[in-house]
Structure 1
């Protein structure tokens, strides 16, 4: 019942043709319609856009020197293990009827079942911080 048909393939082909780039304006504003030339220009543009530019060592030094630093006491406090109380407090101000992630589970759901879910979620997040990798369901 869900298998493709000639009608739907033709419909998709027409839709794709409408989305095809047929003209580019080059740097001086003249239109370019040759497909091979357009591909070459786009490739060259992207290569220049993502090429590595030399970095000014003085700019890097200034950037690093002006970054604020965290005191030793604050660093020790920030590196304490995560607690259920911290997560409970973070959940409190979140507006209702909002989903905290891609799973569609609302804030009300988490609040309702926090006593059951909270300890396990804190464990998952703590392990993620320690390993540096989030589970697929949290990404």
Structure 2
């Protein structure tokens, strides 16, 4: 069954020729071509050529950490007169904003998400959370409770997977790639 599904997939992607003759060279060329297109074989770091995947990863990581990090700023404060009194949060609004998350509130947010969206870093699509809400509700609500009381390490939630899209053919400098976060 698996082979039949794979064969159907590749039949749709390529010509009928290799399926009819069992031409694995055609299959290998398609698979290897895609791998070559999606791989960054080398990068230049100023005057140094980086060819090893570990070096490339370290260079990309360092480049984007430096680009997106901020230097600490001390003494930044706004004068009380900066805010218009009508723009301040009322006591009622403050109570609503600082209240613990309710099951209904979390479920409304999950229901409102696009069920066909791509899975997150955990590999679970939104449809999973919508379908199995009754089963996973205690664990999800425990996560929200930990967040509310400040007992959760937010660094594990605040990250993305960066994919580099070349801006030009044959890109070899990190500035020739456009980062997108998935």
1:84 equivalent to 2:111? Answer no
Q: Residue 20 of structure 1: CA displacement?
A: 3.0
1:131 Cα offset (Å): 1.9
Give the alignment's TM-score, normalised by structure 1. Answer: 0.52
Q: How many residues align structurally?
A: 95
**1:65 offset after TM fit, Å?**
2.1
Structure 2 counterpart SS, 1:102? coil
Q: Which residue of 1 aligns with 2:128?
A: 109
> Which runs of 5 or more structure 1 residues have no equivalent in the other structure?
1-13, 23-45
The Cα offsets for residues 28-59 of structure 1, whole Å up to 9 and x where unpaired, read as: xxxxxxxxxxxxxxxxxx9xxx77889798xx
- Please provide the CA RMSD for this pair: 3.5
Higher relative CO (CA 8 A, sep ≥ 6), structure 1 or 2? Answer: 2
The structure with the largest strand share of the pair is 2
Distance 2:73 2:96 in 1: 39
For residues 1-139 of structure 1, the aligned pairs below 5 Å read 15-16=42-43, 19-22=44-47, 60-61=78-79, 65-66=82-83, 68-99=87-118, 101-134=120-153, 138-139=157-158
Alpha-carbon contact 2:100-2:148 (below 8 Å) kept: no
TM-score normalized with structure 2 length = 0.41
Q: Structure 1's 99 and 117: CA in aligned 2 closer, same or farther, altered over 3 A?
A: farther
Q: For residues 102-132 of structure 1, give each alpha carbon's deviation from its aligned partner in whole angstroms, at most 9, with x where no partner exists.
A: 1120011111110011222112111122025
Dislocated runs of 4+, deviation >3 Å: 50-57, 134-139
Name 1:8's counterpart in structure 2. none
Counterparts in 2 of 1:53 and 1:72: CA distance versus 1, 3 Å: closer
Query: 2:111 and 2:96 mapped to 1: Cα distance?
Result: 22
Q: Give the CA deviation at 1:74.
A: 1.1
